[in-house]
Amino acid sequence: MRGTIVKGIAGFYYVKEEGPRQAALPVSWDKQKPEKKAEAEAAGRYGRGKLQAAKELVPGESGLASSRTSGSFERRIWQCKARGLFKKEGVTPAVGDLVEFELGEGQEDDGLITEILPRKNQFIRPPIANVDCFAVVMAAAHPKPNLAVADKFLVMAEKSGTDVIFCINKVDLAKPEAVERLMAIYAPVYPVVCLSGASGVGVEELKQLMTGKRTALAGPSGVGKSTLLNCLIPGALAETGDVSHKTKRGKHTTRHSELFDLGGKTMIFDTPGFTSFDILEADEEELQHLYPEFLPYLGSCRYDDCRHIKEPDCAVRRAVEEGRICQQRYASYASQLAQIQEKRRY
Ligand SMILES: Nc1nc2c(ncn2[C@@H]2O[C@H](COP(=O)(O)OP(=O)(O)OP(=O)(O)O)[C@@H](O)[C@H]2O)c(=O)[nH]1
Ligand SMILES: [Mg+2]
Ligand SMILES: [Zn+2]
C-alpha cells in the first residue's frame, strides 16, 4: 500500500493511505468503548494492522455514530514502524514522506514501512519532507518578532526553492506601527499576509495562497502557528499554548510535526517552534543568492567575488544606501555571512 506520513512519534509513523476515501473511522480508536469497537469490526470498518484514527477525521465530532450520520469520508491512517534496514542505511522517515507500507497479520500488529519514495526536498528543522511552500509566521507582538530567525527560515526556503508566504500574526495585539514595520521589510520581497488567529482576520487570504500546495507553518514558539492551523482547518484541533509572561516566549506546545489535509491537494504542516537555530546550511558564496532582492545587483559590483561588506564600488551596498534594498535585510545578510565565516574558521 502507498501513503503519506502525517505524523511520527517515538518510533511510530502514522501513514494516511492513498486511494479513494472510506467511511470515517471512530475518533481516537484506542479510547473507544468495546461495544463500539465490536460494531466497527462487524461493519468491516478496519482492516488488519492496528488502526489509529486521526483526530482530523471527523471534525468536531466523535464516535462511529456521528461519523456515519455526518456521511464523512476520509482516507484511513495506519500506525506503522519503519523497516529495520532504514536505520542501518541512516535513513529516517519524515512527516510528508510518501511511502510504501505493508500491514501485519493481526489486529494489534503495526504496519511496516518498506520504502520511502524519492523526496522533492527534506528539512532538518523542522523535520519534514516534500514541502512546496513555507509560511514563515511571526507575531507582530507577544512574542516580539525575531527577524534573525525569520531570515534564517527565508534563506532555508530560498535554498530549497520552495515558495514563501510571510505571515504577520496577532495583528489584534500589536500597534499598527509594529505591523507596518514588518510590512516595510518583507512586502517588497515576499507575499505578506496580516493575520489574527484570534479573530480570523486574513485567514481566507492565507488559504487562497496555500491552495493546491503543501505548506509548512514555520516560526518561533508562541507566534500562533497551531492557532492559525485551527482557523484554516477547524477540525484539526491542534493543541495551542499561551506565551509565558515571564520569559515572553512560547512554551513549545507543539512537539511533533504533523501534516493536515485541507481538501483538494492542499495540505498544511504544523511544526514545533524554536527560537534560534545555528545551522545555516548556506555557504559563503551562495548566501547572496538567497536574498531575492539582491539578485538584480549581483554581477554589477567591481569585484566578481564581492561579498558586499567592505569592498569598494559595491552595487548591493549602493542599493542599500539608495533605499532600494531594505537596511534591515542587508544587516541580516551581513550577520549571517559573518556567522558562516566564523563557523568555517573552526
Ligand atoms: N491575541 C492573539 N493571540 C493569539 C493569536 N494567535 C495565537 N494567539 C495565542 O498565542 C498563543 C500561542 O499560540 P500557539 O498557536 O500555541 O503558537 P505556536 O506557534 O503553535 O507555538 P508552538 O507550538 O509552541 O511552536 C496562544 O495562547 C494563542 O491563543 C492572535 O492572532 N491574536
Ligand atoms: Mg504549535
Ligand atoms: Zn558587492
Q: Are residues 178 and 203 in the same domain?
A: yes
CA atoms within 13 A on the CB side of 287: 25
User: Where a domain ends, among 116, 147, 171?
Assistant: 116
* Domain assignment of residue 94, yes or no: yes
Q: Are residues 27 and 61 both part of a single domain?
A: yes
Residue 300 in domain: yes
Show the domain range for 239: 133-270
Residue at a domain's end among 64, 84, 116: 116
Ion ligand 3: protein residues whose beta carbon lies under 5 Å: 301, 306, 308, 314, 316
Ligand 1 close to Cβ of residue 243 (< 6 A): yes
Mean predicted confidence (pLDDT) in 141-158: 95
Residue 3 CB–ligand 1 contact under 6 Å? no
In a domain, 275, yes or no: no
* pLDDT per residue as tens digits for the range 28-42: 444 455 555 555 444
Same-domain check for residues 223 and 259: yes
Any ligand 1 atom below 6 A from CB of 332: no
The answer to which of 108-112, 129-133, 158-162, 199-203 has the lowest mean pLDDT is: 108-112
Domain count for the chain: 3
Distance 328 CA to ligand 1 centre (A): 26
Of 233, 230, 218, nearest to 162 (Cα)?
218
Residue with grid cell 477547524, as numbered in its chain: 234
- The pLDDT of residue 294: 98
CB 182 within 8 A of CB 139: no
pTM: 0.86
Kindly state if the Cβ of 126 falls inside 6 Å of ligand 1: no
On whether both 237 and 301 belong to a single domain, the answer is no
Residue 85, pLDDT above cutoff 50: yes
| pLDDT for 70 | 35
CATH number of the domain residue 7 falls in: 2.40.50.140
Of 270, 303, 325, which marks where a domain is finished?
270
Q: Tens digit of pLDDT for each residue in 30-73? A: 445 555 555 544 443 443 333 444 333 333 333 332 232 234 56
- Cα of 137 vs centre of ligand 2, distance in Å, is 11
Instruction: Please indicate, yes or no, whether residues 288 and 213 belong to a single structural domain of this protein.
Output: no
93 and 51 belong to one structural domain: yes
Assign residue 222 the CATH number of its domain: 3.40.50.300
Q: How far is CA 226 from CA 192, 213, 257, 258, in A?
A: 19, 18, 11, 10
Residues 19 and 106 in one domain: yes
